[in-house]
């Protein structure tokens, strides 16, 4: 079963929010059975793009969750909103 980038981001947000993973990289990587490598890569890039637009810079440390769970969830949610708004 193939899932979408939005689906990957929502699931990653849930995984981080429940404390199963500390950061975006780990959460998205854990979805290798649900999404192709290409879909997961697109999800990583979407998050980085959101971070660059909103914060002016982006780093792997940000995706690794070194900023804390709350800001990680905020970044994932902002990415979902950005993509959804582009679709409508």
Domain containing residue 43: 5-87
As for how many domains the chain has, the answer is: 1
Q: What is the pLDDT of residue 11?
A: 96
Long-range contacts of 63-66 (CB under 8 A, 24+ apart): 63/23, 63/24, 63/25, 64/22, 64/23, 64/24, 64/25, 64/26, 65/16, 65/21, 65/22, 65/23, 65/24, 65/25, 65/26, 66/23
Q: Is residue 35 predicted with pLDDT exceeding 90?
A: yes
Q: Is residue 79 predicted with pLDDT exceeding 50?
A: yes
Q: Is residue 1 predicted with pLDDT exceeding 50?
A: no
Specify the pTM.
0.85
Mean of the pLDDT values across residues 20-31? 93
């Amino acid at each position: 079963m193939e899932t979408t980038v939005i689906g990957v981001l929502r699931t990653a947000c849930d995984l981080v929010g429940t404390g199963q993973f500390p950061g975006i990289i780990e959460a998205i990587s854990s979805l290798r059975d649900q999404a192709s490598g290409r879909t997961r890569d697109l999800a990583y890039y979407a998050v980085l793009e959101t971070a660059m637009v909103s914060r002016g810079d982006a780093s792997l440390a940000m995706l690794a969750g070194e900023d804390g769970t709350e800001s990680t969830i905020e970044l994932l949610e902002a990415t979902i909103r950005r993509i959804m708004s582009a679709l409508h």
